[in-house]
Amino acid sequence: MQPEKMVSMANQIATFFETQPGTGQAKKVADHINDFWEPRMRIQLFEHVDAGGKGLSPLALDACSYVRMPAD
Amino acid sequence: MTQSFIHDDRDMGTPAKEGAPVTLTIDGFDVTVPEGTSVMRAASEAGLKIPKLCATDSVEAFGSCRLCVVEIDGRRGTPASCTTPVAEGMQVRTQSSRVKDIRRGVMELYISDHPLDCLTCGANNDCELQDMAGMVGLRDVRYKSGKNHYDISGNGTLAQGDARARAPMGDLGNPQYIPKDESNPYFTYDPAKCIVCSRCVRACEEVQGTFALTIEGRGFDSRVSFGAKTDNAMASDCVSCGACVQACPTATLQEKSVIELGTPERSVITTCAYCGVGCSFKAELNGDELVRMTPYKHGKANRGHSCVKGRFAYGYATHNDRILNPMIRDSIDEPWQEVSWDEALTFAANRMRGLQEKHGRRSIGVITSSRCTNEETFLVQKLARGVFMNNNTDTCARVCHSPTGYGLGQTFGTSAGTQDFDSVEHTDVVIVIGANPTDGHPVFASRLKKRLRAGAKLIVIDPRRIDLVKSAHIDAAHHLPLRPGTNVAVVSALAHVIVTEGLMDEAYIRERCDWDEFQEYADFISNARHSPEANELLTGVDPAELRAAARLFATGGNGAIYYGLGVTEHSQGSTTVIGIANLAMLTGNVGRKGVGVNPLRGQNNVQGSCDMGSFPHELPGYRHVKNEDVRNIFEDAWGVKIDPEPGLRIPNMLDAAVEGTFKGLYCQGEDILQSDPDTKHVAAGLAAMECVIVHDLFLNETANYAHVFLPGSTFLEKEGTFTNAERRINRVRKVMAPRNGYADWEVTQLLANAMGANWQYTHPSQIMEEIAATTPSFANVTYELLDEKGSIQWPCNESTPEGTPLMHVDGFVRGKGRFIVTEYVATEEKTGPRFPLLLTTGRILSQYNVGAQTRRTANVAWHDQDVLEIHPHDAELRGINDGDFIKLASRSGETALRAKITDRVSPGVVYTTFHHPDTQANVITTDFSDWATNCPEYKVTAVQVSQSNGPTDWQEEYNAQAEQSRRILPAAE
């Protein structure tokens, strides 16, 4: 998908969890992405982060370290 | 062979009552009935039929015909059994020479003003007047033909045919004669046959709640009238629900189909295939010719009521546009070629397998249908998971109630709606938010309106002044006309008022919810930024009105929330669902009758399609594919390895198609090109695929981009089950053979087997057995139990063997109810100088979804095109008059349609429907979506409206492409 769209989707998720009380928000964002994003979407996210992660909010960027790399 | 499955559905005369048991004796037989029951109904219960004309059990007794008189020991005179309640020890005689004389006298009077055309009458063989004349032994009419309502010429004949024959041409010698009103496409009103029993008027009031009918005049001049004397049925407020036709004892209100085809001789109980209410119907037939659909009294969702779609709009099933032969083509610019089933399936299977070999296992997927049965949907997702070997399966719930799944799952532990529809009868305060039940869920709306007329209070939260806000005998206590996109702010403001004014049900929260999470939530929501006053600029809602609404909901007794796609189809759809769950928990309104959180589901089986594992991340029963134990259940049952990764959702499929990694789609019974947002993007995605298989009744819009067309079957042509919005599993029964040759589950099986599977189902009940064996919430469901009970609400398993009408009765499914913080985040879709108005979309009563079915019925008489509702202020600024062709543009695209000027919408807001592909409202909507589920933001699009001369270039190109794409070559010899 268009990178801007993907970035905006990741940021939307991060925005929700950012408002939640408690700690470990990056993990919660990543859990959501792991549960709902198909492997090629997650791969695209990793590629975008490797290319500098332009546009991703700090929390979304943080979350990427907890996003699971698809096995195949 | 042709079992009917009808449980006793005799007319008991008056409605059932609840109360302490009362025993009386009728004609020597003891009978025990609830207090408040009429003598007439008690007699019926005992199997003793009392003659009647003005009574029927769908409406309260009226006592006008005097045919049901009886004798009661110790009482003077001959009371009407319909209006006389039973009493302990009462001794009733239904037959005595005195009452028999009275009844014959009454019948004689009725018949003296009724034409004797019985043999050629549309109600012949289905006429209560005829039956009663027989039952009371009417053998003569002593009155001379005189002043009457039926004789066209006034020349004194008893039969209309004779009168017409004898009258000079065009002679209307009888001023009392009113010609038949044939304006409604589905039924006629023939005043000549009316006995003025008022059953139609009362049904319109009590059952439907529209109050379109009335009795004009007094005495001999009394006539049934559609509103004003000059109105006909179509010009009136009538919504064509059929309740009056159902109630009419004569041919006065008669289905045109019965007039044309004759009275039906057999019936089969089945379930409507339109909306999520899931009404039960009697399909009434002669042979395999469907004569009419009548609402089934024992249907637990509809309780004997219907709407114009289910009752009348079934003609699409036999429409000429139906495609009955499979078709293929190499590319979408070629015409279709009709081929054999074998050839089509082999072509499709080879292409799909070829794509997987070339582009990988995950390059193809399916879209299951929310219009097909549970069994069919189960097979389509099984095709993806077990034959395609990936989880690329999704369904139209993606674009409607996916946020409900997320929001209620997080807060309550299950996405299930909490109540049954009967629950509304115990409600004191109703919030309707982002739903328009009188149009979208009409039969539920009638049940809701009945409760409102009995005194329940209503709060409507909607940008438009929907009909429920103010209509006959309905006046919402509060209407909060919020700006589209600000649901979270309004719901949070309601919670703010409840918490800061101490109106919450603390005992309930302490007992049933997580107290720590509640305290965090209470801190959050108490912040002044959530107050109605602080939010007013954002939401446009009067703070005083909002505070009053919050107080009413928190303190008004049983509070129930009903919501629809106006809640879910937003970038914060899931957050609003969470906010609604918070409101219900705050006020202690989950876990008993009369309360709850009630998602009004759109399509007939959208609940079922979700239950059956249509979502790419969930196996049947809402269990994530990442869980090995769940995968194991299906791996053992199917003998395959299931992919542990979530698959693509519909918008993701389209994105992946555009970028070239998703190449093949099997789409059953859904028209994504018309129904999904941002049409140009959908078209680009479809055009980029190399094998699109459309399995449908008609060459729908999506089929313009298809390579394989597999003909589908209608709900009348197959066995199966639908699950409605109250989790009620209803049987769908085959009433005629599939015109296309196969039921849809058979077609999916043929495709699977062509791709190497070895499925051997010979009846959908075997699929249900597989569902029950693998899915705990369906563990006890069988066709036998469904036949016995009529319907079952899941969960239905060992602990709830007969189903579950109410959820969370002894505590929430997840354990403690969970309060979740709901911060308002503005959508990125913003108005500005180029696009200063906000468009919101919806639907209307007579059309259904993309209109593929209803546009192919006489329902077009009510809505033959989509129109744009615009406020007079906005119209005047733009020089737009009512009925003008206007151009509607957003950053996604533009289309042209006609304007309707109305103050139902607020200034700054415009509204349209998406029923017609010529308008294609979704070319305007954007690809923004819910943060959690990707449910599209249909309800908020920044637009501009301007004057126009006709269709836009895009519309013309679209129509040309569609026409080109629908060419069919004759079959090869």
Tens of pLDDT, residue by residue over B899-955, are: 999 999 999 999 999 898 888 888 888 889 999 998 999 899 999 999 998 899 999
Classify residue B824 by burial, with Cβ atoms within 10 Å: 0-12, 13-18, 19+. buried
Domain membership of residue A46 (yes or no) is yes
| Cβ contacts of A21 on chain B, cutoff 8 Å | 520, 524, 821
Token pair of B793, please?
């609400």
> Which of A1, A8, A34 faces B655 most closely, judged by CB atoms?
A1
B618-619 and B623-624 beta bridge pairing: antiparallel
Domain membership of residue A69 (yes or no) is no
Q: What angle do CA B685, B689, B692 make, to 5 degrees?
A: 105
> Which of A15, A19, A35 faces B646 most closely, judged by CB atoms?
A35
In DSSP notation, B948-970 reads: -SS--HHHHHHHHHHHHHT-EEP
Please indicate whether, in this complex, the C-beta atoms of A12 and B645 are within 8 angstroms of each other.
no
Domain membership of residue A68 (yes or no) is no
Domain that holds residue A8: 3-63
Within 10 A of B795 (CB to CB), how many other CB atoms are there?
A: 23
| Cβ contacts of B655 on chain A, cutoff 8 Å | 1-2, 5
| Cβ contacts of A38 on chain B, cutoff 8 Å | 362, 391-392, 616, 645-649, 652
Residue B199 CA, chain-centre distance (Å), reads 25
CA distance linking residue B676 with residue B701, whole number of Å:
11
Please indicate whether, in this complex, the C-beta atoms of A40 and B661 are within 8 angstroms of each other.
yes
Contact B458, B317 (CB under 8 A): no
Please indicate whether, in this complex, the C-beta atoms of B656 and A39 are within 8 angstroms of each other.
no
What are the boundaries of each domain within chain B? 21-135, 160-318, 327-398+605-793, 402-599, 837-965
| Cβ contacts of A41 on chain B, cutoff 8 Å | 648, 652
pLDDT for position B551? 98
Please indicate whether, in this complex, the C-beta atoms of A41 and B645 are within 8 angstroms of each other.
no
CA-based nearest distance A26→chain B, Å: 15
Beta strands in B309-451 (DSSP E): 327-328, 336-338, 364-368, 393-395, 429-433
Same fold, B21-135 and B160-318: no
- Sequence-distant (≥ 6) Cβ neighbours of residue B676 within 8 angstroms: B399, B650, B651, B654, B682, B922, B936
Classify residue B362 by burial, with Cβ atoms within 10 Å: 0-12, 13-18, 19+. buried
Residue A15 host element (H or E) = helix A3-18
Q: Among all residues of chain B, which has the CA nearest to that of A69? A: B645
Half-sphere exposure of B543 (CA within 13 A, CB side): 13
Please indicate whether, in this complex, the C-beta atoms of A71 and B645 are within 8 angstroms of each other.
yes
- Sequence-distant (≥ 6) Cβ neighbours of residue B109 within 8 angstroms: B143
Token pair of B91, please?
């001794």
CA distance linking residue B68 with residue B83, whole number of Å:
10
pLDDT for position B651? 93
pLDDT for position B145? 72
Which CATH number is correct for B327-398+605-793, 3.40.50.740, 3.40.50.300, 3.30.70.2190, 3.40.605.10? Answer: 3.40.50.740
Cα-Cα-Cα-Cα dihedral sign, residues B336, B340, B341, B345:
negative
CA distance linking residue B778 with residue B30, whole number of Å:
42
CA distance linking residue B698 with residue B687, whole number of Å:
19
Please indicate whether, in this complex, the C-beta atoms of B656 and A40 are within 8 angstroms of each other.
yes
CA distance linking residue B10 with residue B57, whole number of Å:
9
Q: What is the CATH number of domain B160-318?
A: 3.30.70.20
Half-sphere exposure of B651 (CA within 13 A, CB side): 26
Closest CA to B779 of B788, B790, B792, B789: B792
Please report, for residues A58, B24, B83, B426, B615, the alpha-carbon distance to residue B36 in angstroms, rounded to integers and kept in the order given: 68, 13, 10, 19, 49
CA distance linking residue B651 with residue B166, whole number of Å:
69
- For tokens 């298809």, the residue is B706
pLDDT for position B166? 72
Helix B764-774 × helix B628-638 angle, to 10°:
150
DSSP, collapsed to helix, strand or coil, labels residue B342 as: helix
Domain membership of residue A70 (yes or no) is no
DSSP, collapsed to helix, strand or coil, labels residue B262 as: coil
pLDDT for position B253? 97
- Sequence-distant (≥ 6) Cβ neighbours of residue B344 within 8 angstroms: B326, B327, B328, B708, B709, B710
| Radius of gyration, CA atoms only, chain A | 11
Within 10 A of B20 (CB to CB), how many other CB atoms are there?
A: 8
Q: Does B769 reach chain A within 8 Å, measured CB to CB?
A: no
Contact B183, B234 (CB under 8 A): yes
Contact B768, B374 (CB under 8 A): yes
Q: Among all residues of chain A, which has the CA nearest to that of B655? A: A1
Q: Does B648 reach chain A within 8 Å, measured CB to CB?
A: yes
B470-471 and B474-475 beta bridge pairing: antiparallel
Token pair of B3, please?
């079992």
Please indicate whether, in this complex, the C-beta atoms of A36 and B933 are within 8 angstroms of each other.
yes
- Interface test with chain A among B618, B645, B829, by most A beta carbons within 10 Å: B645
Which regions of chain B are under pLDDT 50? 1
Closest CA to B399 of B720, B754, B841: B841
Long-range Cβ pairs for the range A46-49 (8 Å, 24+): A48/A3, A48/A6, A48/A7
CA distance linking residue B468 with residue B357, whole number of Å:
55
Domain membership of residue A72 (yes or no) is no
In DSSP notation, B97-131 reads: HHHHHHHHHHHHHHHHTS---GGG-TTTTS-HHHH
Q: What is the CATH number of domain B837-965?
A: 2.40.40.20
Within 10 A of B9 (CB to CB), how many other CB atoms are there?
A: 16
Within 10 A of B502 (CB to CB), how many other CB atoms are there?
A: 8
B223-226 and B213-216 beta bridge pairing: antiparallel
CA distance linking residue B714 with residue B745, whole number of Å:
12
pLDDT for position B972? 60
| Cβ contacts of B828 on chain A, cutoff 8 Å | 8
- Interface test with chain A among B529, B623, B652, by most A beta carbons within 10 Å: B652
Indicate whether this complex's ipTM tops 0.90: yes
Which CATH number is correct for B402-599, 3.40.228.10, 3.40.50.300, 3.90.1150.10, 3.40.190.10? Answer: 3.40.228.10
Q: What is the DSSP letter of B860?
A: G
DSSP, collapsed to helix, strand or coil, labels residue B267 as: strand
CA distance linking residue B57 with residue B829, whole number of Å:
52
| Cβ contacts of A28 on chain B, cutoff 8 Å | none
Please report, for residues B123, B541, B559, the alpha-carbon distance to residue B478 in angstroms, rounded to integers and kept in the order given: 46, 11, 14
Number of domains in chain A: 1
The residues that bridge with B942 in the sheet, in sequence order, are B838
Q: What angle do CA A67, B653, B609 make, to 5 degrees?
A: 95
CA-based nearest distance A20→chain B, Å: 6
- State which amino acid sits at residue B484: P
CA distance linking residue B261 with residue B768, whole number of Å:
36
- Interface test with chain A among B655, B663, B828, B829, by most A beta carbons within 10 Å: B655
| Radius of gyration, CA atoms only, chain B | 29
Q: Does B11 reach chain A within 8 Å, measured CB to CB?
A: no
Q: B78-110 in b/e burial notation, b at 16+ Cβ within 10 A? A: bbbbbbbbbeeebebbbeeeebeebbbebbbeb
Closest CA to B33 of B86, B80, B73, B106: B86
Long-range Cβ pairs for the range A23-28 (8 Å, 24+): A25/A59, A25/A63, A26/A59, A26/A62, A26/A63, A26/A65, A26/A66, A27/A63, A27/A66
- Sequence-distant (≥ 6) Cβ neighbours of residue B578 within 8 angstroms: B407, B410, B411, B820, B822
Sequence length of chain B is 973
Closest CA to B881 of B831, B836, B945, B943: B945
In DSSP notation, B154-182 reads: -S--SSHHHHHHHSPTT----TT----B-
Contact B364, B663 (CB under 8 A): yes
Q: What angle do CA B170, B172, B173 make, to 5 degrees?
A: 130
| CATH class for the domain made up of B21-135 | alpha beta
